[in-house]
Amino acid sequence: MIVPSIPWSPWYPLFGASGNKEIARLPGLYRIRRMGRPDLDYIGQTGLRLGQRLGALASALADEMPYRDPHTAAPALWALRHAERCSFEISVAVVEGTTPWRKGMEALAIGLYRQQHGRSPTVEFGRMPIGYRASTPNNSRLVKLGMRYRGGPTVDQDLASHILGVPPKGPLAGPPQSLDWIGHAWSEWRPLAAVSNHRRPIGVGLYRVRGDAQDTLLYIGQGKIPARPRAHFAKINEPSHSQGAIFRSSDRLECSWVLNDDWKSHHRLELENDLIAAHLIATGTIPEAQFLG
């Protein structure tokens, strides 16, 4: 097992990062932390120039909480700064290759961090500091519906974004098709067609899809089962869909899952991330149909 290396740069102040000539003008990964702290607040990836993407976080330094676009983490970073009067610094890594590969490397960076610290970066997966409510995105649909708003301090302590994440279920090791992969109790493998024809809800959790290969997976996902696997299976009939083309090329197409109705949506995202990272470590690849829409 060889863990792909991530060539992280030195740390630089977030303020002025968009014009920092030491930051490569290429796509890649970036990580953010509060100055003076060893733990991370966020890990992200971008297909834009790294400096350009970090420039979108300048809104976290504004007087009022920014909207969730152009950067989804900006409201949470604003809240940390508002609560602690802190400053941020960033480190970057150039990642060459396709968009799915870059997203896979982002999953690896988050997965390795979770293994080391037992949790995700502070505001990863949509989480907010307690005492703050996030802004909405900023788009014409929300404006038309009168649902766009800026977040900020709140007395509400029960928001879903305040709920703590879950630690890794196990080490990022083992064969991706095994029934105990990284500590989960996976179901037996079943034909994806049969699962897709199942009309009653089975539950909510994580799932994986395999094809003809004996050691890799085609896809890793999370959500309602069988609804989510059924949506992927339906793409087989879409001639122009890249994910459907991959599924069509397999003679064997099977699905396995693990259910837990107590997991919140961001819990499932954390655990899904760990699975993608573990697949990359075990096989040197990401699932073939991952990150294709």
Domain termination residue (choose one: 104, 133, 162): 162
Residue 216 domain-assigned (yes or no): yes
User: Could you read off the pLDDT of 133-143 as tens digits, one per residue?
Assistant: 999 999 989 98
Give the residue among 210, 225, 216, 211 at the shortest CA–CA distance from 268: 225
User: Could you read off the pLDDT of 212-244 as tens digits, one per residue?
Assistant: 999 999 999 999 999 998 888 888 888 888 888
CA dist 166 and 241 (Å) reads 34
Residue 5 domain-assigned (yes or no): no
Matching residue, tokens 């802190």: 86
Domain termination residue (choose one: 162, 196, 226): 162
Spatial contact of 51 and 18, defined as CB atoms under 8 Å apart: yes
Q: What is the mean pLDDT of residues 166-193?
A: 96
Q: Are residues 233 and 149 in the same domain?
A: no
Map residue 68 onto helix, strand or coil: coil
The domain that holds 19 is classified in CATH as: 3.40.1440.10
Domain termination residue (choose one: 109, 132, 162): 162
| Share above pLDDT 90 across residues of the chain, in percent, rounded to a whole number | 78
Q: Are residues 193 and 111 in the same domain?
A: no
pLDDT band (50, 70, 90) for residue 254:
very high
Q: Are residues 70 and 195 in the same domain?
A: no
pLDDT band (50, 70, 90) for residue 157:
confident
Spatial contact of 279 and 213, defined as CB atoms under 8 Å apart: no
Using the predicted structure, report yes or no on whether residue 2 has a pLDDT greater than 80.
no
Residue 168 domain-assigned (yes or no): no
Q: Are residues 127 and 193 in the same domain?
A: no
pLDDT band (50, 70, 90) for residue 85:
very high
**pLDDT mean across residues, the chain:** 93
Q: Are residues 114 and 217 in the same domain?
A: no
pLDDT at 43: 98
Number of domains, the chain: 2
pTM of the predicted structure, to 2 decimals: 0.95
Domain that holds residue 143: 12-162
Spatial contact of 107 and 24, defined as CB atoms under 8 Å apart: no
Which regions of the chain does DSSP assign to beta strands (E)?
Answer: 12-13, 28-34, 42-46, 88-94, 132-133, 152-153, 190-191, 203-210, 219-225, 254-259
| Share above pLDDT 70 across residues of the chain, in percent, rounded to a whole number | 99
- Crossing angle between the packed helical segments 99-117 and 265-283, to the nearest 10 degrees: 110
Residue 196 domain-assigned (yes or no): yes
Cis upstream peptide for 70 (omega within 30°): yes
The Cβ of residue 20 has, within 10 Å, a number of other Cβ atoms equal to 17
Q: Are residues 131 and 198 in the same domain?
A: no
Q: What distance lies between CA 261 and its chain's CA centroid? A: 20
Q: Are residues 272 and 232 in the same domain?
A: yes
Q: Are residues 145 and 198 in the same domain?
A: no
Q: Could you say which DSSP state residue 186 is in?
A: P
Q: Are residues 92 and 145 in the same domain?
A: yes
pLDDT band (50, 70, 90) for residue 34:
very high
pLDDT at 1: 63
Q: Are residues 155 and 196 in the same domain?
A: no
Residue 175 domain-assigned (yes or no): no
Q: Are residues 43 and 118 in the same domain?
A: yes
Matching residue, tokens 């899809």: 209
